[in-house]
Chain A
Amino acid sequence: MPAVQPAAQTVPMVRLTIDGMTVHVPKGTLVIEAARRVGVMIPHFCYHPKLKPDANCRMCLVEIEKMPKLQTACSTPVEEGMNVRTATTVVNDAHKSVLEFILANHPLDCPVCDQGGKCDLQDFSHQYTPTTSRFIEIKRVFQKEYFSPLIETQMNRCVQCLRCVRYCDEVMDVKALAPVGRGTMTEIKHFGPHPLDCEFCGGCVQICPVGAITSRLSMYEFRPWMLKRTDTVCGYCGDGCQMTVQTKGQELIEVNSALGAGRNNGDLCVRGFFGFHAAAHPQRLTQPLIRRNGVLTPATWEEALEFVAERIGTIKEAHGGQSFGGLISGRCTNEELYLFQKFMRVTIGTNNIDSSARYGHINGIQAMRDVQGTHRWTVSFDDIAAADVLLLAGTNITETNPITALKIKEAVKKRRASLVTIEALEPSIEPISNLANLSLHHFCTPTPHLRNAVLGLLKAIVENHSVHSDLTRRHPSYVNDLREALAQVTWREIETATGKNAASFSAAAKTIAEGRQVVVLVGQSLLRSADGYWNSLNLLDLLLVIGKLDQAGCGFAPLAEENNDQGAIEMGAAAEFLPGPCDGADPVERDRIMSSWGSDLPPSGGASLVEMLDRAGAGILKAMFIVGENPVASLPAQVRAQDSLRKLELLVCQELFLTETAALAHVVLPATSSMEKAGTFTNTEGHVQTVRPAIEPIGESRPDWEIFAAVSAILGTPMDYTESRDILKEIRGLIPGYGALGPSPTPPRVDPTAIDRYLTEGYRRNLTGRYRLLPGEARPDGTVHLELTQSLFHSGKLSARSKGLLLVEQDGVLRINPHDAARFMVKNGDRVRLSNVRGEITTTVKIMNRIPLGWAWFPNHFGSSVMSLFDCVIDPVTRAPAFRTTTVSVMKVA
């Protein structure tokens, strides 16, 4: 298939004059934006580049030749030959007068306003108005009402620009804010007298030009000029948002993100905006601990490192390198991940290495490698926003990757893209936005059966004759085999399995096949299911079949959950991968790495996460290094992680907190969080971004890489890096894509030889297996299917230590469909007991319309208690453990 570039859309250019300067801008540009290009700043309040013009504040009035009245620059598009004047007396007087109106009812409380020092109103006032006001009447006063645990409102300060309301609607699609009343008494509120209930993205706080909406987390704490600002990357999810952390000494005060910054372009989600306090949690480990007489007792770094090195030496001598295993978190920096695997391979001598990417991200990566020969997306966030057809399968994206979700909302709401969703979600209007509401074709399918709907689409595409003709010509056997496999599934079966008929699939298939720029996104729900790898292959088949896989702007995009899962794979922190990632068994790659490192590599092959635990349980593995991971709490009880780890002769944990796993360790070494260290993260789209320390390490904690290097040095394998940048330099020599950390990554193109290999041979692997419908599971009376999902407000151990996030969601609650709630006779807030043969737990109920009938969701990050209810299966190819669904009976408890 030839790779065709989409026709470059040429936007006609317009020439105009602004204050005597000539400007060339694309047609459709607003005068205010054109002015900015020539350095003319037109004052404004209601205008914001992310929002549709509303022209309500009237601050941006300018003179335009041939127009009788002054015009608002924020809403007037440029026209050829336009002559705009912004600096005349008339314009200046207009600005002054509008400002006088806006200030009339505005309290003069700058000294106590948190916005003081970064307030547009304050700035313009200094520029335009006399110090005494002609307004001697009574100022408007709003009754103060409690607004929310995180957000404070001071509506007397509001200038009614509605930026907050418009952002909440246009960008977030949440619509939680309401301008209430009319005229001067218009007040921004939530619903009735109730406190705000929303996604808490902080967008309203950021976008308010005055101090009407501020963060309660930093209330009265600071003046902007007292704060130090650090630009860094959020550590919560794979979206990798750029943010600015503001600190006063060691105190974390506030986080925000500037318009234009990073892949998020200034937007953040609740975790980024309000979740920054985790690093400063009082329970942070501040010094090394060594188990003495069964008790973890404080020690110095020297003692701890010596102890570790000594134990390693002994065990290695007795049992060899293969008796060690290492597990690291995808929350670490690339430099740390890289050094960890190098430490394991070179210093220790084993490939028993794994990371959190094993939980699911690896399924997507392996599928991409197998089909298209890349380990990264072939699309970027910009391609998502520009796509005309988007297919989402098993993402629950608003809660897992909220900023990627914004790109999708932008594509659908602003650019009219067609959205097709295969999600375990009912469309519904709730405080958290729901992509299914924006969907043109929605297939509500429980997570374990997402495949059924994918097969329905594939079958419809094939039957609609939408298979790309080139493909049929060049790879007839692939097309035939697919066709045959799909012929085995009947529409009747698909209908029973999905509840949707052939016509629905056909309509959706038509939308997809007619798309110009088609992007398929899969998320955690799909990737972490037992079917994660196979279903990814099926979706890649779908792109192949319509001839889109190798087209520019099209592609397959698995979403990373942890912020650096992508980096973990690329750094080679997995048994099967060397840095690159390269196939650990490939002799050429092995030679290349060996010569670069100047040392031998252990023989290929190595244990993955669950295999390591099994080997520890069997007494084969003697020692483990666990960095930032907590398998005891993260894996189902059935895996018996705790028992296995107890058998180890040496367990070293590098941690921020004394987790369930760290509590079993022989040595616990306090590590720094990403607020305290330098390095890089690779986000889900393969964008490598710089992490910078905002505060000094807490207590005696040290960056993980320093710890590996120190242990290694004692063991006689010096790792000479003085700072993390030295490691990055080494990475650059080995891994392409880590050169310049530019603002916009160029995604890789598919590898045609890999595709050919897949189309001739690769696709056959388990074809009939992965093209078979999955049967529904029986659900006896009195039970629901329970699924672990992610909650928007939490995404890991860190979030559960973050005071802001805990204010919104304290604890895991069981989210359940209203009909099921009625079936079990439970109301919001009732306590229920969930039980099955494996165990039982008690939790609280929250009724949500979006949960599909017969299913209940529990947030995985409060999941340690529910883990007792789940089984675990291991994918034979990717070795990913899957344990996210089960069936439980529900009983109301008094």
Chain B
Amino acid sequence: MSLSEKYKDDIADILSRYPVKRSALIPLLYLAQQEEGYVTERAMIEIAGILDLTPPQVYETITFYTMFNLKPVGKFHIQVCKSLMCALVGSDTVIGWIKTKLGIGPGETTADGLFTLSLVECLASCGTGPMMQINEDYYERLTEEKLDRILADLKSTGSSQLKSGPFMWPESIQT
């Protein structure tokens, strides 16, 4: 089914927010990515049509941003922050753990298609490093034990209680 059939109302709602259609490009690409886990060529062409753009215009935009996948990724996309602040508190160790536990390096996906590992730059949780994002959720102040539980949870139930809630750090301040 095409996006415009399936998400008719969402698309209309997104378009209504902007006086110029092209602004809806990133929101529509998110819709497409949500649909198949990555943005297919067909989706790009369809979105170009909705927004009166040429497919190359969609393509140039999508490739500028790191969050869009142009190829399928694992069900759980693990993104470990490797920037300095996390590195100071051990992100390289976390990467090492993941490599051994899952047997994949950066850019690789496990054979069962469950996990893909990526190294990313700062995710705005420098005070709670080392940290990683898996799909939409943040996991912070990682330890080896915590990591094991997260991976096990994801494998068994598809989600983990260890993900961060609304951010506050330190949890109680200046008391």
Contacts and interface: CB of A to CB of B under 8 A. Distances in A.
B56 A429 contact: no
Contact of A191 (B49, B52, B56, B64): B56
A177 interface: yes
A251 B56 CA distance: 36
* Interface residues of chain B: helix, strand, loop or mixed (majority): helix
B41 interface: yes
Contact of A182 (B41, B48, B56, B63): B63
Contacts, number: 40
B55 A191 contact: yes
A178 B55 CA distance: 9
A23 interface: no
Interface string A159-196: 00000000000000011111111100000011110000
A437 B51 CA distance: 13
Given A181-B64, A182-B64, A192-B41, A429 B53 contact: yes
A761 B44 CA distance: 60
A181 B63 contact: yes
Contacts of A189: 56, 59
A192 B59 CA distance: 7
B64 to A, nearest CB: 5
Contacts of A180: 59-60, 63
Given A192-B41, A429-B53, A429-B54, A178 B48 contact: no
A803 to B, nearest CB: 27
A177 B56 contact: yes
Given A192-B41, A429-B48, A429-B49, A178 B64 contact: no
B62 to A, nearest CB: 9
Interface in A279-315: none
Interface residues of A, number: 16
B57 interface: yes
Contacts of B60: 178-180
B52 A429 contact: yes
Interface in A176-232: 176-182, 189-192
Interface in B12-36: none
Nearest to B66: A182
B82 to A, nearest CB: 17
Contacts of A429: 48-49, 52-54
A338 to B, nearest CB: 46
Given A192-B41, A429-B54, A178 B59 contact: yes
Nearest to B70: A192
B20 to A, nearest CB: 15
A181 B48 CA distance: 18
A192 B44 CA distance: 10
Nearest to B61: A178
A174 B56 CA distance: 10
Contacts of A182: 63-64
Contact of B54 (A175, A181, A192): A175
A176 B56 contact: yes
Contacts of B53: 175, 429
A182 B64 CA distance: 5
B53 to A, nearest CB: 7
Contact of A176 (B41, B49, B54, B64): B54
Contacts of B56: 175-178, 189-191
Nearest to B64: A182
B57 A175 contact: yes
A176 B58 CA distance: 11
Contacts of A176: 54, 56
A198 to B, nearest CB: 9
Interface in A732-786: none
A181 B52 CA distance: 22
Interface in A259-290: none
Nearest to A176: B56
A177 B57 CA distance: 8
Contacts of B55: 191-192
Nearest to A196: B56
A431 B44 CA distance: 16
A429 B59 CA distance: 15
A7 B19 CA distance: 36
Contacts of A178: 56-57, 59-60, 63
A178 B56 CA distance: 5
* 8 tightest Cβ-Cβ pairs between the two chains A and B: A178-B60, A178-B56, A191-B55, A175-B54, A180-B63, A191-B56, A178-B59, A181-B63
30 contacts: A174-B54, A175-B53, A175-B54, A176-B54, A176-B56, A177-B56, A178-B56, A178-B59, A178-B60, A178-B63, A179-B60, A180-B59, A180-B63, A181-B63, A181-B64, A182-B63, A189-B56, A189-B59, A191-B44, A191-B55, A191-B56, A191-B59, A192-B41, A192-B44, A429-B48, A429-B52, A429-B53, A429-B54, A431-B54, A437-B52
Interface of A: 174-182, 189-192, 429, 431, 437
Given A182-B64, A191-B59, 13 more contacts: A175-B53, A175-B57, A176-B54, A178-B60, A179-B60, A180-B60, A180-B63, A181-B64, A191-B54, A192-B44, A192-B55, A429-B48, A429-B53
